[in-house]
Chain A
Amino acid sequence: MSSDAMAIRNVEVGSLPLVETLHGWLTTVDHKRLGILYILSALLFLAIGGVEALIIRIQLMRSHNDFVSPEVFNRMFTMHGTTMIFFVAMPILFGFANYLVPLMIGARDMAFPRLNAFSFWLSFLGGLLLYFSFLGGSGLYGAGNAPDVGWWAYAPLGARAFSPGHSSDYWTFALLVSGFGSIGTAINIIATVLCMRCPGMKLSRMPLLVWLNLVMAGMVLIAITPLSAAQIMLVIDRYLGGHFFDTQAGGSAVLWMHFFWIFGHPEVYVLVIPAFAFLSEIIPVFSRKPIFGYPVMVAATVAIGLVSTSVWAHHMFTIGMNSYANSFFAITTMAVGVPTGIKIFNWIGTMWGGRIQFKVPMLFCIGFLFQFLIAGLTGIIQAAVPFDWQLSLSYFVVAHFHYVIVGGILFALFGAFYYWYPKMTGRMLSERLGKWHFWLFLIGFHLTFDVMHVPGLLGMPRRIYTYEPGRGWDTLNLIISIGAFIQAIAILVFVANLIISYFKGAKAGNDPWDAWTLEWSTSSPPPAYNFATVPVVASRRPLWDLKHPEDPDNQYE
């Protein structure tokens, strides 16, 4: 196979001149390199999306502020949302999945290495396409014009008449292109997990991270595709004069909302399930105990995957559905809380009685547990339809979903960075800088998003570019903005840590955390071929068996 030849040549890449190194990265089909490329591109977009968030926060810092114009403000929140979901969260989680899944199941690479490379470049170029709109949004005459229709582009805002120029087209095609990339990756993960496990790695012995990513990939297949279909319809509307979402010709704006949220809500779980996956690997290792309730964890994940496909319309209580639909979606939404609660109890059960080591990855995971619980609770609050009527489209909602995505997913991701960075680079991240990062980010996060609930309750709507003084929102918004800047500083500490530790960090060795899954049995960073001999496993913790031959795990399973 040509891919083998290419990967083996990459081994001595360090001694090659720069151009060839770059060429090697550009043409790579190695799952580890693609994983790192995914993560790096996501970090790039994280910085851009973060700057957009800061611009929003500066504008809202005080009433009647004129830091940016209303038009720019609309572009900022649209680009911030779109970037963070599609070009930060998805790629970074795919990156970790790409890197870890083959290593954890003892495989040589993903099932379709070239499809893997294709998917990465699709999603990366999708991101570039979105940002090209700043230049080409109005067809390159005059100043640029980024999409300003909100990240969900409700009809009729997306229609030709209300969104002239090409800005919405860039948005549409960026999402369409990166969506196809996501589908490719999902197919790849499923095929890899089902067909490439090493001998002895039964489904019941797979690490939970692999299980959860399998469920995630399955959800991508049925969640991303409705968005792609809806985008195709939007293109037909905009370019071929179709009437899907054109209310004047009998079309329906509500149909777009349904299609968008059929994608939109499962998408949250597509993002959070890999975060669960990180926790399920990190918490046991730093509690020095095997995971509590492995089969229940798997079952709960599958249950979340199934139930979350039938909750989408809880984003749409305010559009006036009939009471049966409202009740149905309220009940299913609350039902999702059950398997999620099971998971939280299982992680606490894992920590219970363990010898907990408060290393940085563990700190972030504990932060996740608290914050995700609160995020879940505010979610349940809003599942109550009358309460949602009051709070929908207010800053309470903004606080709620940032609690999920920042307080939950991003915290888990930071934990994953500190945990697997030694495997990816061979160097440890600095614990001291890591603790600075953790505490600064924690403080900034809570300043911003705890306080953000309050103006929402006081009636501050989202997406307004400024507000009247004397409504009691001023001080609160100032605190929120200060918190945002503290978070930005924490991110700078994190980036500094990534760079400094890459050159000066302590050597990691194969297994710095005394962990139990297969990726720690190979060198750090792993060679292109991953494992010199195909590993054979007999339990869920193959490295435990190796280290403790007198007390192997499989006699308890």
Chain B
Amino acid sequence: MAGLIIAESAIFTIFVVAYLFYVGKSLTGPTPQEVLEAPIFFTICLLSSSLTIHFAGKSLERGKHGAFLILWSLTILLGGLFLYGTGREWRRLIYERGLTISTNLFGTTYYSLVGLHAFHVTAGLFMLSMVLIFGLAGRVGADQFRRVDVLALYWHFVDTVWVVVFTVVYIVGR
């Protein structure tokens, strides 16, 4: 998983570089200053899901099955909320502001970078849900905590990437 994370980091790095390279190079509007609003609430959701998954892993290791399931579901809920937030933002941008992926360079880079991240969140949620289903069926025991930890590592990575994406898109890029 560490290897995968290194590889994924390189992919994200290229997209971030492209975003930064093209900041302010769009020939037509709308510009990020006009349309972007920082999604503070949903960012808090995603970042706190790192905490819940961490404690979910801890509970599993200590054999507290109920606590594990609750915290794990909470993680999925928070991740889902974040995804909903991204969807709402995209909806607003596309229908109210008329910014699509082919409008200008900002649109291209913005949707690619945020979309790549959202894709990773979706993949993560899919894997988390599989564990939840197995957990509800009683198949995830304390002896599995190392495997669950590997998945948690991926989730932490997705969160960390969001910190970078947030900084780049909503702070530097504006």
Contact = CB atoms under 8 A, between A and B. Distances in A.
Given A221-B7, A255-B21, A236 B105 contact: no
Interface stretch (B10-18, B59-67, B71-79, B126-134): B10-18
B26 interface: yes
Given A243-B108, A255-B18, A250 B7 contact: no
Nearest to B25: A250
B3 A187 contact: yes
Contacts of A240: 101-102
Given A229-B11, A229-B14, A229-B15, A249 B105 contact: yes
Nearest to A217: B3
B101 A186 contact: no
Contacts of A244: 18, 105, 108-109, 112
A187 B102 contact: no
Contact of B104 (A221, A236, A250): A250
A221 B6 contact: yes
A221 B18 contact: no
A250 B26 contact: yes
B40 interface: no
A250 B25 CA distance: 6
B21 A252 contact: yes
Interface string A208-250: 0000000001100110111011101100110011111000011
A255 B11 CA distance: 15
A190 B25 CA distance: 40
Interface string B19-31: 0011001110000
**Centre residue among B7, B11, B18, B112 by max chain A CB count within 10 A:** B7
Interface in B73-117: 101-102, 104-105, 108-109, 112, 116
A361 B38 CA distance: 63
A226 B12 CA distance: 9
B11 A221 contact: no
Interface in B17-60: 18, 21-22, 25-27
A253 to B, nearest CB: 12
A217 B4 CA distance: 12
Contacts of A224: 7
A226 B10 contact: yes
B105 A251 contact: yes
A243 B18 CA distance: 11
A296 interface: no
B3 A186 contact: yes
A317 B11 CA distance: 25
A259 interface: yes
A191 interface: yes
Contacts of A255: 18, 21
A498 B81 CA distance: 60
B11 A250 contact: no
Given A240-B102, A243-B105, A250 B22 contact: yes
A282 B27 CA distance: 58
Contacts of B6: 218, 221-222
A242 B101 contact: yes
Contacts of A190: 3
A242 B10 contact: no
Contact of A242 (B11, B14, B102): B102
Given A236-B101, A251-B22, A226 B14 contact: yes
**Centre residue among B6, B11, B14, B105 by max chain A CB count within 10 A:** B14
B7 A187 contact: yes
A222 B10 contact: yes
A183 interface: yes
A190 B1 CA distance: 11
A190 B108 CA distance: 35
Contact of B27 (A221, A242, A249): A249
B18 A249 contact: no
Nearest to B100: A241
**Centre residue among B6, B18, B102, B108 by max chain A CB count within 10 A:** B108
A250 B15 CA distance: 17
A418 B15 CA distance: 44
Contacts of A243: 102, 104-105, 108
5 contacts: A226-B10, A243-B105, A244-B18, A249-B26, A255-B18
Given A236-B101, A249-B104, A250-B25, 14 more contacts: A183-B7, A186-B3, A191-B3, A221-B6, A225-B11, A229-B11, A232-B11, A232-B116, A236-B112, A240-B102, A241-B102, A244-B18, A251-B105, A252-B21
4 A-B pairs with least C-beta separation: A241-B102, A229-B14, A225-B10, A187-B3
